[in-house]
Structures are given as structure tokens and as C-alpha cells.
Amino acid sequence: MSIKVEQLTKVYGTQKALNNVSFEVKKPEIVGFLGPNGAGKSTMMKILTTYINATEGSASVNGHDVVTNTKAAQQSVGYLPEHNPLYLDMYVREYLAFNARIYNIDSARINDIVELTGLTPEAHKTIGQLSKGYRQRVGLANALLHNPDVLILDEPTTGLDPNQLVEIRALIKNIGKEKTVFLSTHIMQEVEAMCDRVIIINKGKIVADKKLHELRESKEQTVIVEFDYRVEDAFLKQLPKVKTVVNTHAFVYEITFTTSEDMRSYVFDFAHDNDLKILQLNQKNASLESLFRELTAE
Ligand code: ADP
Ligand code: MG
């Protein structure tokens, strides 16, 4: 069991940051921990990485309880904090070697890690000279130094430009082939781009825990289409995954599908195959983004 959280509650003063949270991650997979700001994501990650203790409940990493077996839990987990503190004056290799010494890690590992995290072309620079994307790579390299089975990444892609975003996502996906990656984000697209599974948290409570493909299948989508003449509802029901067809006015139809996959191309092909002309074709509330908004609405 990579991560096990049971009925965990964290109270800061009078504020309940986590409210009876339970979940498990069993195998190497990339799990997105998604929630709006203030939902309790960083709090959960600080507990899993043994930085703070829960008020109630328990958590373990790789089978090691974070409170009763702290050392073993720490050895199992690598952590990239939300605001990763770095020594800007240190050279990349110097910084990694410094941390390797603190944690008694063979310095031979540094070259492997520099290579793995794509730092080689920048490794001769000081951290202060690096872009935000490369600084994140240094943070990832540092989290991976002791070769932990579980990686906890707190908003690893926040603040990156589009190119850096693509590169860091690819790197995380690559790492996730062998390790359990538990990463937080407040952006659904990040989950769609990287994760196999998503756990959605809102106001300290889990509101969804699903595989991405289940989520896509569970979400409905409505397409609005206008043809150049009348079509029988029953005819449109031949489209795949149709739930309902409503002829809203004139030759305009609202077709609801039981999937969040973009169905417009199916409608287009259907019209083409049946010699119908499309005058307009729009998608209404389809995205997983809208599901996230529904689940985390006030
Ligand atoms: P997230 O990472 O999802 O944005 P956090 O876990 O940082 O959320 O915070 C969850 C809630 O707990 C927020 O309302 C935040 O203000 C509060 N909180 C976090 N850390 C502390 C702290 N050290 N003291 C008091 N309240 C805190
Ligand atoms: Mg946070």
C-alpha cells in the first residue's frame, strides 16, 4: 500500500482544514489531489511527509505510519513543497551534493538524478540563474535523491509558462511509470494532462475519488446542433451514447450524451453521412472543468 489515510482530521485553532478524510493509493500511479485554494491540499501533504501531525486519524506511507514509524515513512517519501526553498547561490550539482551528504546518499546518485530530471544542460549554473521550470526540476531532483517509492508534489506546475508546463508534465508522467506520484493542483487540466486518478477535495472533505476514464464516462455532455431542415428525434438517437434529444425550436436540437468526450465530431460525421447540413454546432457544459466547478461550488 503506497499511501493509506484513515479518518484524518486536522484542526488549526478553530479551523478544520481536513475533515475525516480517508483514501488509499495501492500501486504506482499518478493521483491528482485537486481542490480550490484553501481546500486542505497542502495540509494533507505536510501530514504525509511528516512535517506536521494530524489532530485525529492516521496516515501511512509504504505501510509505515507517519507518527509511530516516522523514519521509515520519511525514507519512503520524496517531497516537493509548494514554495520550494532553494539556495539560489549554490550550483545545481553543489546543492544536490549538499543534500545527498545530509541524508547519507551516495554522491554517485547525483549524476543519475541530474540526467533523469533533464538538468544536464543547466547543471553548471547556479540555481539563481535558472528559470522557474528548471528550479522545479531541481526540486524534483532533490525529492528523488533518496529514491523514494512515493513522491508528494505540492502544485508542481503552478506558475510555469506553457513550454515549461509541457516539459514538467512529461517528466512527472515519466517518473510516475515507476513510482506513486501524489500531486496537488487547483487546475483540472493538470489532472487531465498527467493523472490516472483524481481525488477532489473541497473544504477539507473528499467529494470525488475516481479514475479519469470513469470521470469522463460519468459526466454528461450536451451538444446543440442546428440543421437546415427537420430531423426526427429517433433518427438522431442513432448517435453513440445518446441519452436524450430535445428539439428546442425550428431545426435546433439539444442532444445529451452520457460521456464527456467531445461528441461534436460524431454529430458532424453523422450529418455528413446522412446528407444533412449543419448551420451551427456547439458544445454545452461538457468539460471535466465544469464537473470540478459543480463539485466545489459554494
Ligand atoms: P490548500 O493547499 O488546498 O490551498 P491548505 O492546506 O494550505 O489549503 O489550507 C487549508 C485551510 O487551513 C485554509 O483555510 C488555511 O487558511 C488553513 N491553514 C493552513 N495552514 C494553517 C496554519 N498553519 N494555521 C492556521 N490555519 C492554517
Ligand atoms: Mg496549498
d(CA 133, CA 164): 5
Angle at 65 between CA 59 and CA 66, to 5 degrees: 75
What is the chain's mean pLDDT, rounded? 93
d(CA 113, CA 90): 17
Give the predicted TM-score (pTM) of the model: 0.85
d(CA 185, CA 66): 23
Residue 127 has pLDDT above 70, yes or no: yes
CA 8 to chain centre: 21
Contact present, 202 and 296 (Cβ < 8 Å): yes
What's the CATH code, domain 221-296? 3.30.70.1560
Query: Residues of CATH 3.40.50.300 domain(s) within the chain?
Result: 3-216
Q: Using one digit for the tens of pLDDT, what is the confidence trace for 2-22?
A: 999 999 999 999 999 999 999
User: With bands split at pLDDT 50, 70 and 90, how would you rate the model's confidence at 171?
Assistant: very high
d(CA 291, CA 282): 18
Contact 37 CB / ligand 1 (< 6 Å): yes
* DSSP code at position 91: B
C-alpha to C-alpha distances, 263 to 215, 256, 269, 273, nearest whole angstrom: 16, 10, 10, 15
Residue 218 has pLDDT above 80, yes or no: no
Average pLDDT over residues 62-84: 95
Average pLDDT over residues 64-80: 96
pLDDT score recorded for residue 168: 93
Query: Residues of CATH 3.30.70.1560 domain(s) within the chain?
Result: 221-296
Q: Domain 3-216 belongs to what topology?
A: Rossmann fold (3.40.50)
Report how far ligand 1's centroid is from the alpha carbon of 83 (Å). 14
Report how far ligand 1's centroid is from the alpha carbon of 32 (Å). 19
Contact 15 CB / ligand 1 (< 6 Å): yes
User: With bands split at pLDDT 50, 70 and 90, how would you rate the model's confidence at 285?
Assistant: low
The grid coordinates of residue 29 equal 500511479
